[in-house]
Every structure is written in C-alpha cells, then in structure tokens.
Amino acid sequence: MTTPAAVVESDGDLIVRREGAAGIIRLNRPKALNAMTYEMSLGIDAALDRFEQDPAVAVVLLEGAGERGLCAGGDIRGLYESSKAGGDLGKVFWRQEYVMNARIAKYPKPYVAFMDGLVMGGGVGLSAHARHRVVTEKTKLAMPEVGLGFFPDVGGTWLLTRSPGEIGAYFGLTGQTMNGPDAIFAHFADAVVPSGKLPALREALTEVRPGATSAEVDTIIAGFATAKSAGPVAAQQTSIDRWFAHDRMDDIFKALERDGSELAQSTLKALNEKSPRGMVVTLRLLRLARNATSLEECLVREYRAALEVFRSNDFREGVRAAVIDKDRNPRWSPPRIEDVTPEMLAPYFREIGADELVFQKANSRNRS
C-alpha cells in the first residue's frame, strides 16, 4: 500500500511532495504552459537537495500540470523585459538553470521525466538530461530558440550533437518539432508510453523499493512502453545528413537550394524565418560541441554566448515578434547570412572572466 503523501514544499507555480517512494516535482503554471521562472528553478534545486537526502525517496518524478505539456521553456517575457531595461535576469536565471541542468544529468537517484505534450527549450533542460525519459503519442519536443535570435541552450548543444548524423543540426537550426519516436531516435528520450498509461506508471513508481537501481526503474517503465523507437525523421536521415554536413550556413543553404525535393524546400523555408546571426552562432556551437568531453563544457560555452544574446537586438526582436506583438515578422540584424561577420561572432565565444559558469562538486553543496 502506498504511504500517505508527505508534502515537502508547495506554492502556486511549483508543487513538490513525496508520494510513497517517489519524490514528485510538478511544474504548476498550466495557463503559461508551465514556463519556468527563476523562482521555480530555485525551488526545483531545493527539492532535489531534499529528495537526495531523504532515504524514503527512491525515485524522483518530474511532471507538468494540465493537459497541454510538461514545459514550454523559460519565462521569455520576463527575460525580454529585463533585457530591454538593461537588467541582469539573463545572467542570474541562466546561471541557476544551467548548473541545475548539469546536476540533473548526474543526479544520484533515478530521475524520471514525463515528457507528455509540449516540451520546449528550458523544459528540454529539465527532462532530456534525466536518466529515464518518457515520451508519449502527444509529445511535441522542440528547441526553437534560433527563431528568437537565440540558440539551443540548457545543454542543447551537447544533446543535439549526440543525435545520429546531422539529425541534431537539423532540429537545432530549423526548430522543427519531434514526436515521441523522433525524440528517441534523436537520443532525447528513452521510451514511448501511451499517455493513458502514465497514471499507472506513476503509481508503480511510487511503489519502488528504497535503494532501487536505475535498471529496476527501466524495467518498470518497459512494462508500460511500446516498441516505437524511430519516427518520420529517421527515414529522411540520408538527405538531412547530406544537407547539414557543412560547417558554414552558406553551404547548408546552397545544398538545400540545389535539392528540389519537398522536404528540402520546406526546410529552406524554415531556415529563412530564423535569425541569421542566431543560425551562425548555433552551428558553431554545435560543431564545437562535437568534440566536447562533458555536458558542463558545453554549458560553459552556452553561458558565454547566452550573455551576449541577452544584450543583442536580435533577441529582443525575436521575442517581440513571437511573444509580445505576435506579428511573426522579426526584423533581424543583419538580415542575411552573408552579412554575419567574424567580428559579430567573436563576442559570443570569448571567455568572460569572473562571470564564467562554475560547477560545484556534489559533495561540496552546502544548503541549509
């Protein structure tokens, strides 16, 4: 029998509680598609501390409130307002978020993410670094940041370069959506579980024995999963690999322009809507991430680039067009790929001295 839930912490935007052997973290902003605020990030980190120390918690489960998805990303509107005002929310929020992303990847207890419905941006950072990543037939996973004058962050450059061939470059540059099997093929998820079975899986996780291993949790999830592991994008990999094999955006555009197929033309259309500067920065970050030896290495680079993005007009313009005015007509600067110069790119890749992202060792964490 499941023991009574022990509430650890609860507020309007985040619900944290123990249900049986499971530590539950529920993002609770359904009207905002559970977009994550700085305060929510701090709350998640505190919950991870408490669940790690609680011997009654055998597994941690991340889920989203409402029917629409796990998390649509970070609080873009808040970041936009801070950027306009010359504030420092980007610096503070992303530092907290990126350190938490790295922590999730190394969390000592089984960490399960229910990636049901919409999973974007910061939601990917909370879930795709988990040890056990569950998608459903409703999953719509995307990293559309280039359409905001940004790039796939929260460790996205690490994840995307671990996808087969150039699948990661395709998803990272176009911002196209993955379904559940696509996400497994791209190494962003591990199992497809029908959404109707999630309540039963959730109940089974609350009954995991103390000290359960990840292999045991995998076995439980497998009992509810389907065999699907490759979505429609897998069938297009040969073409995608050919188009995105280049290290310059100019050459990727030319490869697509030479191909008259419907997919090539729709891909070209998607790229033409994105920030030229954002695409060039993204491609360079992805190529650097290929040789990275750790997620942390990629997060350090992403943080440097993110601070430069936060100061840029392209970020504010992208958010204005997509979120504020919603006219879907951003005026990028510069407006063309060929106008992005090495001088424009240099600030995104410079060391930033005292502001560099630093990761504490797990045993050095000291929270009251």
Any idea which residues carry the catalytic annotation? 74, 122, 145, 153
Query: Which spans in 29-164 are helix H?
Result: 38-53, 76-84, 89-105, 122-127, 156-160
First-to-last C-alpha distance (Å) of the chain: 32
Most distant pair of Cα atoms in the chain: their distance? 65
Cβ contact 105:155 at 8 Å: yes
Residue 10's nearest CA partner among 21, 30, 24 is: 24
- Report the SS3 class of residue 60: strand
Total Cβ atoms within 10 A of residue 212: 18
Give me 120's structure tokens. 């974007």
Total Cβ atoms within 10 A of residue 118: 21
Buried b (16+ CB within 10 A) or exposed e, 250-278: eebbebbeebeeeebeebbebbeebbbbb
Q: Kindly give the pairing relationship between strand 132-135 and strand 111-115.
A: parallel
Cβ contact 149:309 at 8 Å: yes
